[in-house]
Amino acid sequence: MILLDRVSKTYSKGGKPSLDRISLHVDPNEFVILVGASGAGKTTLMRLLTREERQTSGKIIIGGIDFDKLKDKEIPLLRRKIGVVFQDFKLLPNKTIFENVSFALEMVGMSSHEIRNTVPKVLDIVNLKGKENSMPMELSGGERQRVAIARAIVRQPKILIADEPTGNLDPKHAWDVIKILEKINRYGTTVLLTTHNQEIVNRLKRRVVTIKDGKILSDRANASYKI
């Protein structure tokens, strides 16, 4: 599903690499947690996976797509395979919850009939049934993050990248979000979660990849993590 082979990323000529010859393999349906201090390289890795940045060297293959052969016009197709959730939600403040989620489908030309059928099902998955007509500011932070997750998965991506999705949430709402990510993973979506939350990592007992100074420090199954 995801293969990185000796991938490096350097932003300036002669500068210190943000990622330094990292190799990583993630199987379909895996749930992998990426941990590391700020500046370790986690966000750079995420940006490479979504082709917001190009690697300086090494090979990246996602879902059979070789990034070395990926044309610019094919990048939108790649991104339909990958859903992304951010720490700060990135919702459209003047649109309802239904409209925020349906916007992702409108962008790919789905019919109004299909949208009306699809969006309620996805909102049900993230436990927001009945909130279709609410505005983002009428919801709690945890609910807004679940809207962001609904928007990310509404096109049924093979991979979901959750970049610090609980960073702005209290413990209860953080766990609500984590439970949704686990549910999505059970449905067959590969999940990559980055987090600084030690308690979340230690309770989930999933595969943990630790990045430090642009290198993979450890890669362990059923792991705990100490900051």
216: left (phi over 0), alpha (psi -120 to 50) or beta: beta
101-134 per-position pLDDT tens digit: 999 899 888 999 999 999 999 999 999 999 999 9
Residue 89: the pLDDT is 85
Cα dihedral angle (163, 73, 70, 22), rounded to 10 degrees?
-20
CA atoms within 13 A on the CB side of 85: 33
Q: Where are the domains of the chain?
A: 2-90+157-220
Give yes or no for residue 224 having a pLDDT over 80: no
Largest CA distance in the chain: 54
pLDDT level of residue 91 (50, 70, 90 thresholds)? very high
3-state secondary structure of 105: helix
For residue 17, what is the DSSP state?
Answer: P
For residue 98, what is the DSSP state?
Answer: H
* pTM of the model as a whole: 0.91
Residue carrying structure tokens 């030690």: 198
Residue 80: the pLDDT is 84
Give yes or no for residue 226 having a pLDDT over 70: no
Residue 125: the pLDDT is 94
Mean pLDDT (the chain) is 92
11-63 per-position pLDDT tens digit: 988 889 999 999 999 999 999 999 998 889 998 999 999 999 999 999 999 98
> What would the DSSP string read from start to end of 38-63?
TTSSHHHHHHHHTTSS--SEEEEEET
CB within 8 A of 42, min separation 6: which ones? 34, 35, 36, 163, 194, 211
Residue carrying structure tokens 């199987």: 27
pLDDT level of residue 90 (50, 70, 90 thresholds)? confident
Residue carrying structure tokens 């610019």: 72
CB within 8 A of 11, min separation 6: which ones? 18
Task: Report residue 218 as tokens.
Answer: 């450890």
| Distance, CA of 214 to CA of 8 (rounded, Å) | 8
| Distance, CA of 203 to CA of 192 (rounded, Å) | 16
Residue carrying structure tokens 């990622």: 19
Residue 179: the pLDDT is 94
3-state secondary structure of 185: helix
Residue 170 or 97, more confident: 97
Residue 77: the pLDDT is 83
Residue 14: the pLDDT is 80
Q: Per CATH, the architecture of 2-90+157-220 is what?
A: 3-Layer(aba) Sandwich (3.40)
pLDDT level of residue 225 (50, 70, 90 thresholds)? low
Residue 49: the pLDDT is 94
179-223 per-position pLDDT tens digit: 999 999 999 999 999 998 888 999 999 999 999 999 999 999 876
Are the beta carbons of 165 and 193 closer than 8 angstroms? yes
Residue carrying structure tokens 């750079």: 44
Residue 39: the pLDDT is 86
